[in-house]
A and B are shown apart, each in its own frame.
Chain A
Amino acid sequence: MPDGAAPVLDVKGLKTVFQTRSGKIHAVNDVSFDLRPGELLGVVGESGSGKSVTMMSLIGLLPSPPADVCAGQVLFGGRDLLKTDADALRGIRGKRIGFVFQDPMTSLNPVFNVGFQICEPLRKHMGLSKAAARNRAVELLELVGIPDARRRLDDYPHQFSGGMRQRVMIAIALACDPEVLIADEPTTALDVTIQAQILELVKDLREKLGMAIIWITHDLGVIAGIADRVIVMYAGQVVEQAPVQELFSNPQHPYTRSLLKTIPSVSGDRAPRLQVIEGQPPIQMKAPDACPFLPRCAHGFDRCAAENPARLAVGQGHDVACFWDPATGGPRHV
């Protein structure tokens, strides 16, 4: 995709805190990224790294309180979504930005048949008649590869298998031809052979529909297979961003580097022992004033404790938030 193209979605300096009884949790800390037309942006990180909260913050899906999206800008279609009122936002969600969540069982309503659930956005957002919406729903189910689509419209979610439910979710998300699709761990609850089916489907749909996709996952294998560009999140921050080939062949951040080494693969060399990242991800009870990865980092030095590194360009479309330089094994000279 052309580098110069104006982004569909531009997120700048996003911050989200949760007010809890034991204090403020800084879940998203100054996150910036953009999404370009037609690309698939992978977002990786462990649980608690803030990847889901980031996405929910930018389209106003977090209940407030306890959540407070306290800073930043989310530019989409010429306006700032954070300054958009709830009504207008409702007109964008589901219409221009579609969503697929991790667990298709809990995100579908068990008491309505899937036909109703697919038609709902079509009638609300597109103003289609009942019959027209139903026809479009059949088209959508066929698009996502559900056999015998017309008859299955009257089935309830529990009559579908996990993989088929996820296809229904994708059909709902695609209903209004969104410009952006946000998929939050859409295949994590599925078996590998079903996951492979969904990944093929998404690749196929991208070619057909050409929308931009944000794909959240903790599975680097999935990312390697489908993403164009990747951002790596840790403790509510983007620690590295790179084109997918570059990230896997030339990772810069110590977290990305060790993450890539900790995962075994089904092909390639088999290491006699897995590399370990000692310790565990932090819970941010205060705004970060040092590198959040420092306690688990093998390369940290005094500067990492004194300030939180800003993201620094290290290559074409590649930036990293780290003071350490893997090329020299010493501090990065800025």
Chain B
Amino acid sequence: MSTPRKLVEVRDLKMHFPIRGGLLRRIVGAVKAVDGVTFDILEGETLGLVGESGCGKSTCGRALLRLYEVSGGSILIEGADIAEASPEELRRMRPKMQMVFQDPQASLNPRMTVARIIGEPLLEHTSLSKAEREERVYELMDQVGLNRAFANRYPDAFSGGQRQRIGIARALALNPRFIVCDEPIAALDVSIQAQVVNLLEDLQDKLGLTYLFISHDLSMVRHIADRVAVMYLGKIVELAPREPLYSAPLHPYTQALLSAVPDPDPAIAARRQRTILTGDVPSPANPPKGCNFCTRCPQVMDICRSVDPEFREVAPGRFAACHLLDDTVSASGHGPGRGAQDQKTNQQGSMT
């Protein structure tokens, strides 16, 4: 197999929301929900995007489809920059990229029948006849495991898992290449989550889809994703293929996050060394100076409070942003002495 093509290339994406205040509602600050993230999504893969609430993972996913006007950076989908696209261009690009939302209750119009919900993208973007549209809706319902006989029912007649299937069918209607799944299973019961995840995997195999799978559930992401990006306070702190990320996380935040996930096995749970982070996530309107994680990091150093670590490739395919890794990389690359020296110069450079 040749090297997979990059389907999505995100460079230094920023999404800042203005904070207005005062009598004249002037802009007095910004919530830096996404603050300079860079990553690729390869064709046919599932990239997991994990992090705690408020870390900017959902905003990142929405900005990727330009559901927001981004504040900076570029998003190339199949080479075309969606961040710069005109409304007309954007409309032509929409069928290629779709979204599955978290709350299947809120994302489906309660006054539309299932057939109309699934058929709406077809009406909007294709010139199919009524009969053809109907045929396609049935086909989609089969594909996601919904009974055709229920096409004329309303969303409230369905359970949470079935509603999520409706949302997935709607996303599939225009044969997209790329789907952003924003916490698609978070609102579902444990026994239903597996059904939806298996469906997403089957569809990926069958249709060659590429997913960005946004979730706070680290164990489910380990199951579904090929590569995983970890976000903290608007930035990606680590991005790596699944296995090394879970077995040997590099960034202290990833380590703490993984150790906080309860293990459904009492024997492992009793054995495990836990890293309990103290404190809460700082506000994205007022992130700390230096590394965003410096206020909670168990291994914080002086440099972390002044210099924001660069997000870079620290091993083939593994990216991280942490000063602790400065040494190790230089050590493998140029010898230990050089690495320590580099760090010192960096530090001095930034101090002045």
Contact = CB atoms under 8 A, between A and B. Distances in A.
Interface of A: 46-47, 161, 163-164, 191-197, 199-200, 218-225, 244-245, 248-249, 258-260, 262-268, 270-271, 273-278, 280-281
Contact of B219 (A199, A264, A273): A264
Contacts of B223: 264, 270-271, 274
14 contacts: A191-B216, A200-B274, A221-B264, A248-B265, A258-B191, A259-B190, A263-B219, A266-B222, A267-B268, A270-B223, A274-B194, A274-B223, A276-B191, A276-B195
A46 B194 contact: no
Interface in B194-232: 194-195, 197-198, 201, 216, 218-220, 222-223
A234 to B, nearest CB: 10
A219 B264 CA distance: 8
A222 B262 contact: yes
Contacts of B197: 274
Contacts of B191: 46, 258-259, 262, 276-277, 280-281
Interface residues of B, number: 41
Of the candidates A161, A193, A222, the one having the most CB atoms from chain B within 10 angstroms of its own CB is: A193
Contacts of B302: none
Given A46-B190, A191-B216, A259-B190, A270 B222 contact: yes
Contacts of B278: 197
B277 interface: yes
A327 to B, nearest CB: 21
Contacts, number: 129
Contact of B263 (A195, A221, A244, A271): A221
The B interface is mostly helix, strand or loop, or mixed, namely: helix
A267 B258 CA distance: 9
B189 A47 contact: yes
Given A193-B52, A218-B189, A199 B198 contact: no
B269 A266 contact: no
A245 B258 CA distance: 23
A224 B190 contact: no
Contact of A276 (B159, B194, B222, B261): B194
Contacts of B30: none
B267 A191 contact: no
B256 A193 contact: yes
B269 A278 contact: no
B190 A218 contact: yes
A266 B266 contact: no
Given A161-B280, A196-B274, A274-B197, A280 B219 contact: no
B198 A192 contact: no
Contact of B266 (A164, A194, A245, A264): A245
Contact of A219 (B216, B259, B262): B262
Of the candidates A192, A196, A263, the one having the most CB atoms from chain B within 10 angstroms of its own CB is: A192
Given A193-B277, A265-B222, A276-B191, 5 more contacts: A196-B276, A248-B264, A248-B266, A273-B201, A280-B159
| A-B pairs, 4 with minimum CB distance | A221-B262, A196-B260, A191-B52, A274-B194
A266 B246 contact: yes
